A and B are shown apart, each in its own frame.
Chain A
Amino acid sequence: KNEVEQSPQNLTAQEGEFITINCSYSVGISALHWLQQHPGGGIVSLFMLSSGKKKHGRLIATINIQEKHSSLHITASHPRDSAVYICAVRSWWFYFGTGTSLTVIP
């Protein structure tokens, strides 16, 4: 049983489309993180959330603590958004989703 479930596993979008990636978790958490990993391995933390909603540029992250669910939205997607997006939750330590591989086609 995975503590963190992400969907979809793979996503292909046309440039300009609105994208949503979902994350559900089953453990008590103090925070949820959305991470971005480009080919080559480097990981960048996009958001850290404990409640509500955050926005950075074209990226929006929301969390519903009662439903144990978070979403990452990308508005007006661009080919440079192509990457793997990973949901991670902080409980005693970090649990990770398996990632969503996003490809944005020009």
Chain B
Amino acid sequence: KAGVTQTPRYLIKTRGQQVTLSCSPISGHRSVSWYQQTPGQGLQFLFEYFSETQRNKGNFPGRFSGRQFSNSRSEMNVSTLELGDSALYLCASSLGTGSREQYFGPGTRLTVT
């Protein structure tokens, strides 16, 4: 089975721009979660989707949004980028929500200049 894939792997954007990141889960997995990792804050939960519905959202401003499609692929969008949004964005898929094994993608490294 193919693993979790994320595109693009690297991205450089300018302050004020917006960005869309994509995550394709493992085949058969219906839950996708997104995380932000920075040197200062470590890993932080962004959102969790299951069957096209957002189940949970972490403590991030409304500039961060996401969605999940009927094929379980997910996208996250960050609008009006700030320098502090520079981070590694990771997605993880699992069969369902709750206490399930998470399988992580390689991440998208976003640099905001």
Contacts and interface: CB of A to CB of B under 8 A. Distances in A.
Interface of A: 30-31, 33, 35, 41-45, 48, 50, 86, 88, 90, 92-99
A97 B42 CA distance: 8
A5 to B, nearest CB: 12
B44 interface: yes
Interface of B: 33, 35, 37, 42-45, 48, 56, 58, 88, 90, 92, 98-104, 106-107, 109
Question: Which of B43, B90, B92, B101 gathers the greatest number of chain A CB atoms within 10 Å?
Answer: B43
Decide if the interface of chain A is mainly helix, strand, loop or mixed.
strand
B99 A86 contact: no
Contacts of B98: 30-31, 90
A93 B99 contact: no
Contacts of A50: 99
B42 A41 contact: no
A86 to B, nearest CB: 7
A11 to B, nearest CB: 17
B11 to A, nearest CB: 14
A94 B33 contact: yes
B107 A41 contact: yes
A45 B101 contact: yes
B33 A43 contact: no
Given A50-B99, A90-B98, A90-B99, A45 B104 contact: yes
A62 to B, nearest CB: 17
A90 to B, nearest CB: 6
B104 A43 contact: yes
B107 A42 contact: yes
Given A30-B99, A41-B88, A93 B58 contact: yes
B43 A93 contact: no
Nearest to B92: A43
Contacts of A33: 102
